[in-house]
Chain A
Amino acid sequence: MNKNTKDALTTKIGRRSFLKMAAIAGAFGATNAIASGNVTRAATDEEVKNPFPGSKNVRTICTACSVGCGITAEVQNGVWVRQEVAQDHPISLGGHCCKGADMIDMVRSEVRLKYPMVKEGGQWKRISWDIAYDRISKKLMSLREKSGPDSAIFLGSAKMSTEQAYYFRKFAAFYGTNNMDHQARI
């Protein structure tokens, strides 16, 4: 290794000199609003203890598997900010597997589908909910008219709530077919 590189790598910047450098950088970057030059301050004890003031804890249930582990979700201003295990839950007893621990990231995932889309001429196109509802219902009704209600199939989910699953089953009944199922079959 080149000696200069080696020196550069082993050079230690002391904490004090680092802070000095940071202060200079801070001073250059600071606006008039920070007249004193102190750009940072230590967190108060209260902030360390409670980084999300005004947040509330919500008891909820993991959506991964059928064990039914408890989740304590911390919510601040409508944002899910932290996830905690439920130490006092009678089934999970404070346990979480990697899937369960990841619920907060699943919900906040950046690759979620964000708005309704339709494929037209091979291209994805953003549409409004109203247009989506109108087009889908019209097509379903015309197929129902033309080919009968059994020309459609509805596949629901074991990831729905019980109430939603019930209303999914009911939807197919009111549409007029028993072509309806979900992944419990598998």
Chain B
Amino acid sequence: MVELKNVSVTYSSGVDALNHVSLKINDGDFAFVVGSSGAGKSTMIKLLLKEIEATEGTVVVNGYNLSKLRRSKIPNLRRTIGIVFQDFRLIPSMTVYENIAFVLRVIDAPKSYIRKRVPYVISLVGLQAKANNYPNELSGGEKQRVAIARALVNDPKLIIADEPTGNIDPELSYEIVELLMGINACGTTILMVTHEHDLVRHFGGRIINIAKGEIVYDDIMEGEVLYEETIAPGVDEDMMEDADEA
């Protein structure tokens, strides 16, 4: 769960990035965060990852009150969040498998679990054949699938996708969102930041519009397609449950 209560962020330059924002995203929700450049979307993501501090107000993410969270505990918070970036941010010196397994190594997961879990997550994003490839050998869409697999591998409560379709072909954008929706269908909360209105109109759902540091719209909007139809190929709830049991 993500909850912002009367949150403001003012940068040292004097810029008010967020202005008395209140927001609640419940477990299992899927929400699009939209807004133009400089609206405050990136600031919100930085807040949720405790990269920056709120100047005012309270931020609670997955049970962690971020204003009271000590620096040494930030890794614990981040282990409950999966993050997908626009520019993929894969480690270039690691293969697809290693990039994903790395997240589990960070949490000191048993080797046997890593050996089971990583191939499974790779299969969820349809990249079994590319497991031993390096990021520079993949297309943009494939890289983003790896990033999603990496975000998913430690079974986080929340996935934050920051413009995940920004660097890939438009037709692949729909696949990426479908993949995220498939993951959401299995219970993971998804917060997807985007400025691609076509995508939002297409899929619909909860839309949070930020402008000049304030939430100007937060409601459910019906999409052009039904959510159930958009589950990614190869992903179904049984598979996700199997993985959780593993």
- Asked if A pairs with B, the answer is no
**Chain A residues with a Cβ under 8 A of chain B:** none
| Interface residues in chain B, defined as those with a beta carbon under 8 Å from any beta carbon in chain A | none
